[in-house]
Structure 1
Amino acid sequence: MNESIFITGAGAGIGRETALIFASKGWFIGAADRDEAALKSLQQSLGEDACSIHVMDVVDEASVKAGLADFARRTGGQLRLLHNNAGILKVGRFEDIDMATHKAIVEINVIGLMNLLHAAFPYLKATPGAQVINMSSASAAFGTPDFASYSASKHAVRAMTEALSIEWEPYGIQVGDLMPPFVNTGMVQSNEGKSALFGNLGVNLGPVDVAAAVWQQACQPRLHRPLSAQFRMLWPLTKSSPSSLTRAVMKRLWRPQ
């Protein structure tokens, strides 16, 4: 069996492009998503011998366990790389977004991530050189206005990544995350115009760029991998600068120009 990767949110955007890149490198793809039609389209592109598909709701623990068990039957119980990509976004003032949406953001972005990590652990532990790549965000560097619940969820992803990078190290499992700013996906496109940050910072990455970074992270793991030249420059400053300075910069970026 070739090296294997299990990707959530694989039906479109970053997840689909990641599947295409890893398949081109000879990896076996486990593609999970709620959208069965999108998964079947991906499998048709890659071939059934190179890709298994799993209709999955990451918030549903039973669904996650069943999907991973089905995948593991194709790989002899091995999971070389788990890519936690599934997530949702809603942009706007905190008080203008209904609580059902705030809860869904946390449930999918955080609880969904935890469900995958918990269910995947036995397969990762059984695989030499196993690795986890979580999708955090540039918004995990400092709380981001108009992205309050999303930013909070990505802070949680960052914290989970840091904690498990220590806890799982004795098992030989490397845990890291990617921290992209805005990516030109359908999720971002549906929210553009709802915050001045989109215009002031720009949407300069595409799904292919992030998928390429997933491959880079697989080959050269880091705890945190900030994406885009702009954020790679700002990331060290957010860690070393006083929080008052980071807050002032964020406040300025939030204002319409």
Structure 2
Amino acid sequence: MHDTVFITGAGAGIGRETALLFAANGWFVGAADRDEAALKALAAELGEERCTTHVMDVVDEVSVQQGLDDFARKTDGQLRLLHNNAGILKVGRFEDIPMATHRQIVDINVTGLITVLHAAFPYLKATPGAQVINMSSASAAFGIPDFASYSASKHAVRAMTEALSIEWEEHDIQVGDLMPPFVSTGMVKSNEGQSALFSSMGVNLDARDVAAAVWEQAHHPRLHRPLSAQFRAMWPLAKSAPSALTRAVIKRLWR
């Protein structure tokens, strides 16, 4: 069996491009998503000999366990890389977003990620040199207006990444995350008119750029990998600058 990767949210956008890239480089891909039609289209493009597909809802523990168990049966229990990519975004003033949507953001972006990590652990532990790549965000550096719940969820992803990078080290599992700013995907495009930050900061990455970063992270892992030249330059400042300064910069961009 070649190197193996399991990708959540693989039906579109970043997840789909990541599946295509890894399969093209000889990896066996487990593609998971709620969208069965999208998975069938992906499987037709990849070829059944290079992938398995799994209709999965990351907030459904039974669904997640079944998907990972089915994948592992095809890989002799091996999982070299888990890419936690599934997530949702809703942009707007906090009070204008329905409570049900806030809850859904947290359920999918945080609880879903935790559920997948928990179910994947035995297979990661059984694989020498295993790795997790979580999808965090530039918004995990400081809370972002118009993105309050999403930003909070990505702060949680960052914290989970940091904690497990220590806990799972003894099991030879490397845990890191990607921190992209805005990426031109369907998820972002459906929200673009809802915040001035899209125009002030720009949408300068596409799904293939992020897939390439997943590939780079798989071969040269870091705890946090900020994406885009703009955010890579800002990241050291965001970590060391006084909170009041970071807040003032973000407020200005938001206005």
Q: What is the deviation of 1:211?
A: 0.2
Between the two proteins, what is the percent identity of the paired residues? 80
**Deviation of 1:116 (Å):** 0.4
d(CA) in 1 for partners of 2:193, 2:101: 19
In structure 2, the partner of 1:72 is 72
Q: Does 2:124 correspond to 1:120?
A: no
Give the C-alpha shift of residue 14 in structure 1: 0.2
| 2:244 aligned with 1:253 | no
Count of aligned pairs between the two proteins: 255
Displacement of 1:220: 0.1
1:96 correspondence with 2:96:
yes
Quote the residue 1:171 is aligned against.
171
- Partners of 1:39 and 1:58 in 2: how far apart? 15
Aligned-residue offset at 1:193? 1.0
Query: What's 1:33 paired with?
Result: 33
Residue 29 of structure 1 aligns to a residue in which SS? strand
Could you tell me which amino acid in structure 1 is paired with residue 7 of structure 2?
I
TM-score (norm 1): 0.99
Aligned counterparts, 1:53-202, within 5 A: 53-202=53-202
Matched position secondary structure for 2:222:
coil
How far does the alpha carbon of each residue in 1:219-256 deviate from its partner, in whole angstroms, 9 at most, with x for none? 0000000000000000000111000000000100100x
User: Which deviations, in whole Å up to 9, do the C-alpha atoms of 1:193-240 show, x marking residues without a partner?
Assistant: 100000000000000000000000000000000000000000000111
Q: Could you tell me which runs of 5 or more consecutive residues in structure 2 were left unpaired when the two chains were aligned.
A: none
| Shift of residue 170, structure 1, vs aligned partner | 0.4
SS for the counterpart of 1:239 is helix
Gaps of 5+ in 1: none
The Cα of 1:108 is off from its aligned counterpart by 0.1
1:210 alignment counterpart: 210
Instruction: Find the aligned partners of 2:249 and 2:192 in 1 and give their Cα distance.
Output: 21
**TM-fit CA distance, 1:150:** 0.1
Cα distance in 2, alignment partners of residues 7 and 235 from structure 1: 26
Runs of 4+ in 1 over 6 A off after TM superposition: none
CA shift digits 1:31-62 (9 cap, x unpaired): 00000000000000011110100000000001
State the one-letter code of the partner of 2:214. V
Quote the offset at 1:84 in angstroms: 0.2
Question: Using the alignment, how far apart are the partners of 1:226 and 1:239 within structure 2?
Answer: 12
Cα shift readout 1:75-128 (whole Å, capped 9, x = no counterpart) = 000000000000000000000000000000000000000000000000000000
Post-superposition CA distance 1:148-190 (Å, at most 9, x none): 0000000000000000000000000000000000000000000
CA distance in 2, matches of 1:193, 1:101: 18
> For 2:63 and 2:250, how far apart are their aligned partners in 1?
39
Q: What secondary structure does 1:70 align onto?
A: helix
Matched, 1:237 2:237: yes
In structure 2, C-alpha distance between the alignment counterparts of 1:5 and 1:188, rounded to whole Å: 25
